[in-house]
A and B are shown apart, each in its own frame.
Chain A
């Protein structure tokens, strides 16, 4: 009888040992996969380009490690991962770097298919999103930066350009939201264009304070104003809002440096 019990015990012990060994192997595999699937974002707190990638990662629910870079003292890693432009953001996935925010956003959407999609499915709608995302970035945001960096007659010229182009976007928003802007939005319905718009102009009130005039308001651009308001309320966006005073200081500094040149 004792022998039988012994046998059973040995079998059970073997089973435990086997289970343990399987568990060890699985854990080791998971550790390997975690290293392989590790996502690191190299960024700069001030950069709206970096914010775009952060928002995309958060919306998709992708865990990542963040590394703040110092542009005045570029790290060897930064130079290794982005030798061409030496800029952030840089997304490192499976040890491979991806650079340029618009390229990173498309990569994120194509690689992690489980979270909310950043781009629509239909090719024509995708083309529209890509076009308007580029418009917001190049025609609007970069023009606003030109306004920040100039004065006098040159500034007047780019201010007019900015206002004219904001009108163009305002017209397009009527087509994007034919039933009007929803009063509240959530991160699951937010896509690439929303991310672009909110990272470029979410802090427009701070930008307007530094520039000394309003360019997005309920009179001139009511739809854009409402869209930004709804986007800024989304928890994942709210959490990533710039500390106001820090942003004012940074924008004033950029203006000063530029005008001194």
Chain B
């Protein structure tokens, strides 16, 4: 039986991008379906009636939701490039930072860039503190995964292109080279990796899109 693999995604979504990167690293063929989030397709509603969000990975008719769950599934199903470390303790550390990014860092960045002006200063302070923790975790490594990209790098994809677009679109500066030399270098190296480069959306279009989605800039 031929394997059927499709990814329902959205061009501007960093979460969809994570899955694209992972599938590219594993050298797995798939069909990509672009979803219009303002006009959701019957396919999306069928495969994800729960929260109707992307990405959705459909493997042999079976849907998988939530990018972190999908990344684990991809690593467990296809051999080849290791996305997760092998050692249980290192896996725990990677999962910890992945959760940190999704549960704490990204919401803080969103609040800092796009939140109400009233709480902006405090939000920027919070986001900066959290980014500092990630900066320290990177240490002298090229990537969070070591010499090659791994789970945490993939989950941190928002911090490369998207954060730059957030900053340009909102006027709020977060990850400057002075304050975050390691993360800034990482961002550039990450975006230059072939599996990532060919899956990133065009920057200018992304900035325009994010600005229209999230609202007024800080100025």
Q: Could you say which of B66, B72, B89, B99 contacts A126, with CB atoms under 8 Å apart?
A: B72
Q: Do A131 and B95 touch (CB < 8 A)?
A: no
Given contacts A84-B100, A127-B73, contact A106 B66 (CB under 8 A): no
In whole angstroms, what is the CA distance A130 to B64 when docked?
11
Q: Do A127 and B89 touch (CB < 8 A)?
A: no
- Range of interface residues on chain A? 20 to 34
Which of chain B's residues 124-151 have a Cβ closer than 8 Å to chain A? 133
How many chain B residues touch A (CB < 8 A): the figure is 22
Q: Could you say which of B65, B92, B99, B100 contacts A131, with CB atoms under 8 Å apart?
A: B65
In whole angstroms, what is the CA distance A126 to B68 when docked?
12
B62: CB under 8 A from chain A? yes
In whole angstroms, what is the CA distance A134 to B72 when docked?
14
Which of chain B's residues 78-128 have a Cβ closer than 8 Å to chain A? 88-89, 91-92, 95-96, 99-100
Q: Could you say which of A98, A123, A135 contacts B73, with CB atoms under 8 Å apart?
A: A123
What's the A-B contact tally at a CB cutoff of 8 Å? 56
Which of chain A's residues 164-201 have a Cβ closer than 8 Å to chain B? 168
Which of chain B's residues 42-86 have a Cβ closer than 8 Å to chain A? 50, 59, 62, 64-66, 68-70, 72-73, 76-77
Smallest CB gap from A104: residue in B: B92
A100-B99, A134-B69 known; 13 new pairs, CB 8 Å cut-off, are A93-B89, A96-B89, A98-B89, A102-B95, A103-B92, A103-B96, A104-B92, A106-B95, A107-B88, A107-B89, A126-B72, A127-B64, A127-B69
Which residues of A are at the interface with B, using a C-beta cutoff of 8 A? 84, 93-94, 96, 98-100, 102-104, 106-107, 110-111, 123-124, 126-127, 130-131, 134-135, 168
By Cβ-Cβ distance, the 7 closest A-B pairs, closest first, are: A123-B76, A110-B88, A107-B92, A127-B73, A103-B95, A98-B92, A130-B69
